[in-house]
Amino acid sequence: MLASLLLAGLWAGLHSARATPVAVSLKPFNDPMPSALPRQWDAGNRQFNAFVDGPQVFSYQNASVVVSYEPGQATSYFSGTINATGLKPNFWYQMKLAGKPKYGSRGWGDSGDDVANANIGYAGRWWGDEVSRQWNIDSDTEYENTYGSVADPALKKTVYGYIYMAGFLTDENGSYGGPINGSRSCHVTWQDWQSAIGNKNAVALDSRYLSSNSSYGYGYNFDSGSSGATNPVLIHNPVKLWYEYEARAGRIRRNTVQLPDGTYQVKLPAGNYNCRFLLTEESFHNNFGGGTDNDNGGFWHTVLSNEDFGIDPVTGLRVADSDPANDIAFTISPPVLPVVSASSVAVTVTRSGSSRVGKATVKIINSATGAAVSGASVSGSWSGAYNSATVTATSSSTGLAVFTTPKFAKNATSTLTFSVTKIVKSGMNWDGVIKSGSALVP
């Protein structure tokens, strides 16, 4: 328990110390997946013959990629900016937010964050990441059975959650600068021509094409004819790309919310997040058919990350990066709910034979806008000439909640008072003000 409290205090201290904008550099990532292959074609399937045939050597060691973000995120998803040079030209990269599970053979130990990892996975996807095996986790249930609900840490297999947030297209020199918008949970990016080859996932196409009409002049002395190398598939110039969403109708993710247009937006629960930022070469399902079955088309090669595993120079054992300066660490704040209040309480008393009847009309509004609020549960009580326990009414479409007393006899007290003691409205917070109104008893 003490260790947990110390770690929590350390996290809070590190996080508060990073209250200004953060810039984190990405570095080459040692992708452990044996089937991962570098892509040697650009976004339009034009082959980098100079790389394939050997006159030039491409290395991510020469890349400079910086992710900048606010530690206190203003939305329910991750956002920031990315600035990159030295990447592959006219090339599509996936930007992923990935968790850091604590346990398993590729767990992050005390540098991990199981809560953030689960929250990310429930908005996106899961990946099994053991030293001996890397595999796709098909469902939340498989994640729970492999990691989340496994009580004994020694029996957990490393599973990290990730969100493919968005991608970007580099220019002819392998450069890009622009925003990171993590509001979407994507599955993959497709080239437009793939919908015509019996693509089983074409039904999920979003039809919102991305701007990817970059010019085809290369900063790497592109040579389309060196050593007789040829393109194995049709070159697409220009190419149009589209996202297949991971979160969509029929495949709803727990940590997303449906928007008015029917699409789903990432909604990470409030809390602190310590995670990774991965850059993966988009291979457009290279092994999917249509003439793209070729190793040079790549296969989901993750190439850059803010942190990775290394080898301890003393013990020779594999160790996770524990330098907090390399973390992607941010806070998602609880949503700021609008405030509901009682703006007025109008009380009247009328005669009913020898008895009296009291009526209170309470106006319920949005405190910021003054707009009437319907469907609010309003509680209050009568005092003075008539006393009651708590009574409740619901506000109408015009924001009015009406309360009426039973008949009561006039007594020595000349005033009848109604006091609002509580207002409950889904998606709003009551301002807590006890609002009262009174009337003389005739």
Residue 251 pLDDT: 87
Q: Is residue 273 part of a domain?
A: yes
Same domain for 222 and 359? no
Task: Among 314, 332, 350, give the residue marking a domain's end.
Answer: 332
Residue 5 lies in a domain: no
Residues 57 and 172 in one domain: yes
Q: Identify the pLDDT of residue 234.
A: 54
One domain, residues 156 and 241: yes
The C-alpha atoms of residue 329 and residue 273 are separated, in whole angstroms, by 5
Give the pLDDT score at 326.
94
Judge residue 260's burial from the number of C-beta atoms within 10 Å of its C-beta, 0-12 exposed, 13-18 middle, 19 or more buried: exposed
pLDDT given for residue 294 in this prediction: 78
Residue 130 in domain: yes
User: CA dist 159 to 135, 187, 256, 271, 319, Å?
Assistant: 9, 18, 20, 21, 17
Cβ neighbour number for residue 270 with a 10 Å cutoff: 12
Domain assignment of residue 110, yes or no: yes
For residues 282, 286, 287, 290, the Cα torsion angle rounded to the nearest 10 degrees is 150
Structure tokens at 5: 């409290």
Beta bridge partners of 383: 417
Enclosing H/E stretch for 17: helix 2-17
CA 250 – CA 259 distance, rounded (Å): 15
Helix ranges (H only) for 65-139 are 114-121
One-letter amino acid for residue 267 of the chain: K
Q: Which of 161, 299, 184 is nearest to 246 (CA)?
A: 184
Q: Which of 40, 63, 73, 49 is nearest to 305 (CA)?
A: 63
Same domain (yes/no): 224, 124: yes
* Residues 96, 156 contacting (CB under 8 angstroms): no
Give the Cα separation of 345 and 420 in Å (integer). Answer: 8
Q: 371 and 261, same structural domain?
A: no
The C-alpha torsion from 430 through 435 and 441 to 442, rounded to 10°, is -90
The per-residue pLDDT for 47 is 80
- Do 320 and 409 lie in one domain? The reply is no
Picking from 272, 305, 332, the residue at the C-terminal end of a domain is: 332
CA distance 79 to 402: 46
4 in any annotated domain: no
Note the pLDDT of residue 50: 75
Q: How many domains is the chain partitioned into structurally?
A: 2
Residues 348 and 323 in one domain: no
Q: In 39-106, which ranges are continuous DSSP H helix?
A: 49-53
**Which pLDDT score, from 0 to 100, does residue 16 have?**
41
Range of the domain at 350: 339-440
Closest among 397, 398, 390 to 423, alpha carbons compared: 390
SS3 317: coil
Neighbours of 43 (CB within 10 A): 28
State the Cα–Cα distance between residues 298 and 366, nearest whole angstrom: 55
Partnered with residue 200 across adjacent β-strands are none
Sign of CA dihedral 387, 389, 390, 394: negative
**Distances 316 to 107, 110, 313 between C-alpha atoms, Å:** 17, 19, 6
pLDDT attached to residue 287: 62
Ranges of residues in the chain with a pLDDT under 70 are: 1-19, 192-240, 287-293
pLDDT tens for each residue of 198-256:
443 333 333 333 333 333 333 333 333 333 444 445 555 556 677 788 888 888 899 99
Q: Among residues 68, 73, 58, which one has the least CA distance to residue 28?
A: 58
Residue 2: inside a domain, yes or no?
Answer: no
Residues 77 and 164 in one domain: yes
> Which amino acid, 19?
A
Find the Cα–Cα–Cα–Cα dihedral 19, 22, 28, 33, rounded to 10°: 50
User: Domain check: are 157 and 190 in the same one?
Assistant: yes
Do 343 and 324 have their domain in common? no
- pLDDT computed for residue 327 by the predictor: 95
60 and 186 both lie in a single domain: yes
According to DSSP, the β-strands at 355-366 and 435-440 are: unpaired
* Residue at which a domain ends, from 279, 298, 332: 332
- Count CA atoms within 13 Å of residue 323 on its CB side: 10
pLDDT in tens, 110-124: 999 999 999 999 999
Residues 375 and 316 in one domain: no
Q: What is the pLDDT of residue 273?
A: 98
Domain CATH code at residue 350:
2.60.40
Q: Using alpha carbons, list the distances in angstroms from residue 336 to 220, 307, 339, 427, 428.
A: 50, 33, 9, 10, 9
User: What CA–CA distance (Å, rounded) separates 416 from 223?
Assistant: 92
